[in-house]
C-alpha cells in the first residue's frame, strides 16, 4: 500500500496506521484511528494492549494552480484527447493519545508509547522515514510538526487508565482529482491559404 492522491484523506489515515503498526509490536500495542472514549463501552476492560490513538481534528484545504485552470492536462496520443486534472494542498492535524491500564503495563507502558511516538514522528529522520514508507511514486505523507504530550489519569468502568493527552501530529499531503472525461485535443492549426503576413 502507498499514499493515493486521488483518495488523499482515507489513504493518509490508512498509511499513518500502517506506519505505526509496522514499527511497534502489535501484540503489545493497538492502533486506533479515532478517539477511543467514543467506543469505550465496547472495550474489554481492563485493556490488554496499550492503545495509541490518532484522530483527525482539523483540516486546512487549498487548491493548487492559477485561476480555474487545471494543474495538468494529460495527453493521450492514441485517442488524441486531453484529460484535465486539478490539484489540492491539505494540512491535516491529528490528536494523538495513549491509553494504558495496569494490565497493559501501566505507567511504564505509557512512557514507552510516548517514546515510540517521538521516534516515529518527532525527529528530522522521522520526516524522511514517513515519506519513504508512504511514497509509492504518486506522492507521500509529510510530517510538518509533532508536539506535546502531557500525562493524565482516567477511569472507565472502575479501571484506571494512564493516558497521554495534548499531543498533535500535523502532516501535509497533495491531492489530485480522478481522471475525468477526456476532451478532444487540438492537433494542428491550419492557416488560411489566402492569408499573407507582412513584415
Q: What average pLDDT is seen over the chain?
A: 86
In this predicted structure, the answer to whether residue 36 has a pLDDT above a threshold of 60 is yes
In whole angstroms, what is the distance from residue 179 CA to residue 142 CA?
24
| Confidence bin at 3 (pLDDT 50/70/90) | very high
| CA dist., res. 51 & res. 16, Å (int) | 15
Superfamily of domain 5-60+86-177, CATH level 4: Phage tail protein-like (3.30.2000.10)
Tens-place pLDDT, residues 49-70: 999 999 999 999 988 766 666 5
User: Rounded mean pLDDT of 1-11?
Assistant: 93
- pLDDT mean over 183-187: 61
Q: What is the mean pLDDT of residues 73-98?
A: 81
Rounded CA gap, 15 and 21, in Å?
10
Q: Dihedrals φ, ψ of 147, to 5°? A: -140, 165
pLDDT at 167: 97
Q: Grid coordinates standing for 139?
A: 506522492
Q: Answer yes or no: is pLDDT of 179 > 80.
A: no
Calculate the dihedral angle through the C-alpha atoms of 28, 33, 36, 42, rounding to the nearest 10 degrees. -80
Q: Is 13's pLDDT higher than 60?
A: yes
Q: Sign (positive/negative) of CA torsion 101, 122, 64, 188?
A: negative
Mean pLDDT of 150-161: 88
DSSP for 96-124? EEEEEETTTTHHHHHHHHHHHHHHHHSSH
Structure-model confidence comparison of residues 81 and 141, the more confident one: 141
* pLDDT exceeds 80 at position 42: no
Q: What is the mean pLDDT of residues 12-33?
A: 97
Q: Is the pLDDT of residue 79 over 70?
A: no
- Which 8-state DSSP code applies to residue 137? S
Amino acid at each position: 500500500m502507498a499514499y493515493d492522491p486521488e483518495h488523499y484523506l482515507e489513504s493518509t489515515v490508512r498509511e499513518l496506521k500502517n506506519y505505526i503498526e509496522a514499527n511497534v509490536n502489535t501484540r503489545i500495542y493497538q492502533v486506533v484511528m479515532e478517539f477511543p472514549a467514543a467506543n469505550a463501552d465496547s472495550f474489554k476492560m481492563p485493556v490488554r494492549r496499550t492503545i495509541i490513538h490518532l484522530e483527525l481534528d482539523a483540516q486546512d484545504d487549498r487548491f493548487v494552480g492559477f485561476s480555474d485552470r487545471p494543474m495538468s492536462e494529460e495527453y493521450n496520443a492514441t485517442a488524441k484527447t486531453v484529460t484535465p486534472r486539478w490539484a489540492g494542498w491539505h494540512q491535516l492535524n491529528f490528536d494523538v493519545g495513549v491509553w494504558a491500564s495496569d494490565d497493559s503495563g501501566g505507567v511504564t507502558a505509557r512512557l514507552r508509547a510516548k517514546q515510540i511516538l517521538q521516534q516515529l514522528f518527532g525527529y528530522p529522520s522521522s520526516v524522511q522515514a514517513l515519506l519513504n514508507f508512504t511514497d509509492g511514486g504518486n506522492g507521500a505523507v509529510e510530517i510538518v510538526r509533532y508536539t506535546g504530550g502531557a500525562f493524565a489519569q482516567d477511569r472507565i468502568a472502575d479501571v484506571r487508565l494512564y493516558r497521554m493527552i495534548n499531543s498533535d501530529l500535523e502532516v501535509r499531503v497533495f491531492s489530485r482529482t480522478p481522471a475525468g472525461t477526456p476532451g478532444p485535443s487540438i492537433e494542428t492549426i491550419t492557416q488560411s491559404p489566402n492569408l499573407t503576413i507582412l513584415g
